[in-house]
């Protein structure tokens, strides 16, 4: 039987995603080309993607009510991205269309080790403004969780985090693509979800030791840091930096074919579990199951697991 996405009867977890939507143009090859080298790909496919839309779909497939704040261009890619979001049951009243601008595109290469490299054209994602966030303030105020990433302008994410804090809404931030973050943003983040590269990149003076840097982020004001470590699971630090204990959450062993979207599946799963009131260790375990399953299918959107599959993986590893 599929589990319910809430621990509070009568409460319908509500996640608002502030972020990007892309069309992923994916080539599969044995290895990445060297600079100046031309190699022939084994296959080419087009997928729905963008960290924002992936996370919104991931959350919707875990059973949450999901709304998306973002922008697409007035092109056929934008029409398709909007249609897919709606097909997944995502509310799109705050998904705006920017005339005369292309929608976001990601050129992705996946090698035989299931690793990827991604080159982004932000397009309309680069036009999401703080005013778009303020116009959605009622929506944000009604959410349990606001989930954001960094494929839209940083000032817009800063505005979203401040608004979430003002309304007592839990703010989850995936700091990808990696970049240094202002303290005013980190101070308004409840859960920062970096990978091992991003945890150092967010700090102006990183130590490059995972746990030390996670404690530094807590010292700036984030309440929880969950560092995703791929096949090594996740490292969780929660609370004031001096007292926070480091908790290791193991990964689920799976045969990976493509890791694209795995971090987004993790983030969407964590957002829903926390919106539902699950305790942090249990929520991270569910998120890790979402991420593991996403590695087993090619492409971002097709790999985002449904709740039944996640329940089954959790039960098989209880
Ligand atoms: O996290 C994976 C996503 O990153 C891809 O879907 C691509 O669009 C890029 O945004």
**Is there a domain that residue 5 lies in?**
no
The pLDDT of residue 149: 98
Q: Which atom of ligand 1 is nearest to the CA of 151?
A: 10
Helix or strand run (H / E) with residue 43: strand 43-49
Query: Where in the sequence is the domain holding 269, given as residue range(s)?
Result: 14-20+51-103+124-316
Is 151's C-beta closer than 6 angstroms to any atom of ligand 1? yes
| Residues annotated as catalytic (active site), given as ranges | 264
> In this structure, which residue's CA is closest to atom 2 in ligand 1?
261
Handedness of CA 66, 68, 72, 74 (dihedral sign): positive
> In this structure, which residue's CA is closest to atom 8 in ligand 1?
50
**Is there a domain that residue 81 lies in?**
yes
> In this structure, which residue's CA is closest to atom 9 in ligand 1?
50
C-alpha 46 to ligand 1 mean position (Å): 12
- Is the CB of residue 306 less than 8 Å from the CB of residue 61? yes
What domain count does the chain have?
A: 1
Cβ neighbours of residue 286 under 8 Å, at least 6 residues apart? Answer: 269, 270, 273, 278, 310, 314
**Is there a domain that residue 171 lies in?**
yes
pLDDT tens, the chain, 318 aa long = 677 776 665 678 999 999 999 999 999 999 999 999 999 999 999 999 999 999 999 999 999 999 999 999 999 999 999 999 999 999 999 999 999 999 999 999 999 988 899 999 999 999 999 999 999 999 999 999 999 999 999 999 999 999 999 999 999 999 999 999 999 999 999 999 999 999 999 998 899 899 999 999 999 999 999 999 999 999 999 999 999 999 999 999 999 999 999 999 999 999 999 999 999 999 999 999 999 999 999 999 999 999 999 999 999 998
Q: What is the CATH number of the domain that holds 296?
A: 3.40.1190.20
What is the DSSP-derived secondary structure letter of residue 305? P
Is 264's C-beta closer than 6 angstroms to any atom of ligand 1? yes
- Is the CB of residue 287 less than 8 Å from the CB of residue 166? no
* Model confidence pTM above 0.85: yes
Residue among 17, 27, 49 to mutate when testing ligand 1 (max atoms within 8 A of CB): 49
β-strand partners of 222: none
**Is there a domain that residue 4 lies in?**
no
Handedness of CA 1, 66, 223, 197 (dihedral sign): positive
The pLDDT of residue 1: 67
Is 193's C-beta closer than 6 angstroms to any atom of ligand 1? no
Is 52's C-beta closer than 6 angstroms to any atom of ligand 1? no
Is 258's C-beta closer than 6 angstroms to any atom of ligand 1? no
CB neighbours (10 Å) of residue 218?
Answer: 22
C-alpha 267 to ligand 1 mean position (Å): 13
CB neighbours (10 Å) of residue 9?
Answer: 6
Question: What is the rounded CA–CA span in Å between residue 134 and residue 43?
Answer: 43
**Is there a domain that residue 90 lies in?**
yes
Is 118's C-beta closer than 6 angstroms to any atom of ligand 1? yes
C-alpha 95 to ligand 1 mean position (Å): 18
**Is there a domain that residue 39 lies in?**
no
Q: Six-digit token pair at 9?
A: 């009867």
> In this structure, which residue's CA is closest to atom 6 in ligand 1?
49
C-alpha 299 to ligand 1 mean position (Å): 9
**Is there a domain that residue 62 lies in?**
yes
Residue among 27, 110, 151, 267 to mutate when testing ligand 1 (max atoms within 8 A of CB): 151
Q: What DSSP string runs through 44-82?
A: EEEEEE-HHHHHHHHHHHTT-EEEEEEEEESSHHHHHHH
User: 232: helix, coil or strand?
Assistant: helix
Is 305's C-beta closer than 6 angstroms to any atom of ligand 1? no
Cα end-to-end span (Å), the chain: 15
> In this structure, which residue's CA is closest to atom 7 in ligand 1?
50
The pLDDT of residue 56: 98
**Is there a domain that residue 115 lies in?**
no
Nearest CA-CA partner of 135 in 181, 69, 191: 69
């Amino acid at each position: 039987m599929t589990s319910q996405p809430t621990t509070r009867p009568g409460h319908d977890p509500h996640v608002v995603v502030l972020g990007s939507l892309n069309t992923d143009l994916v080539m599969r090859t044995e290895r990445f080309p060297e600079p100046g080298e031309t190699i022939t790909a084994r296959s080419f496919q087009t997928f729905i993607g963008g960290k924002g839309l992936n996370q919104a779909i991931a959350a919707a497939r875990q059973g949450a009510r999901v709304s998306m704040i973002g922008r697409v261009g007035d092109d056929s890619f934008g029409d398709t991205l909007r249609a897919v979001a709606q097909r997944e049951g995502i509310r799109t009243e705050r998904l705006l269309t920017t005339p005369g601008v292309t929608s976001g595109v990601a050129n992705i290469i996946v090698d035989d080790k299931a690793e990827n490299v991604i080159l982004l054209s932000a397009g309309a994602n680069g036009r999401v403004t703080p005013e778009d966030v303020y116009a959605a303030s009622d929506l944000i105020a009604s959410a349990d969780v606001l989930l954001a990433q960094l494929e839209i302008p940083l000032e817009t994410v800063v505005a979203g985090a401040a608004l979430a804090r003002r309304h007592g809404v839990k703010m989850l931030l995936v700091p990808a693509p990696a970049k240094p973050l202002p303290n005013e943003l980190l101070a308004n983040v409840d859960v920062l979800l970096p990978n091992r590269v991003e945890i150092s990149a967010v700090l102006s003076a990183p130590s490059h030791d995972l746990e030390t840097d996670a404690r530094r982020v807590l010292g700036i004001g984030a309440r929880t840091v969950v560092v995703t470590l791929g096949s090594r699971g996740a490292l969780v630090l929660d609370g004031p930096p001096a007292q926070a204990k480091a908790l290791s959450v193991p990964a689920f062993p799976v045969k990976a074919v493509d890791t694209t979207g795995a971090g987004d599946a993790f983030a969407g799963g964590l957002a829903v579990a926390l919106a539902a009131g699950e305790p942090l260790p249990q929520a991270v375990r569910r998120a890790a199951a979402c991420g593991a399953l996403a590695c087993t299918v090619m492409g971002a959107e097709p790999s985002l697991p449904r709740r039944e599959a996640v329940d089954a993986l959790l039960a098989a590893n209880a």
